[in-house]
Amino acid sequence: MESVKTLELRVKQCIINRLGLDVSADEIEDDAPLFGEGLGLDSIDALELVIAIGKEFDVAIGDDDMGIFQSVNRICEFIRTARPEL
């Protein structure tokens, strides 16, 4: 089983790589908002993240799950629920 920090770091790296962000993983706070005043992501970014997170962690993200993109913590919570072995 992976450590808690490892999953958060993997999620951050996935976000940075998929969206081509010019920030380091250390600059993204686990509970900071990803949209609006947070990282400033928009709806197009959300669609990119559905694909990236889905592929990277082998999880299905449906329309009802879009609230997971509020923060890194929420994404990790979703992944841990869908894939407890991670």
- Which residues constitute the domain of residue 35? 4-82
Q: Which two tokens stand for residue 38?
A: 């947070």
Q: What is the residue-level pLDDT of the chain in tens, covering all 86 positions?
A: 455 568 999 999 999 999 999 999 999 999 999 988 788 888 899 999 999 999 999 999 998 998 899 999 999 999 999 999 88
Q: What is the CATH number of the domain that holds 8?
A: 1.10.1200.10
pLDDT score, position 31:
93
pLDDT score, position 40:
87
Q: 41-44 contacts: CB < 8 A, separation 24 or more?
A: 41/69
pTM reported for the whole predicted model: 0.88
What total number of domains does the chain contain? 1
Q: Percentages helix, strand, coil for the chain, rounded to the nearest 5?
A: 60, 0, 35
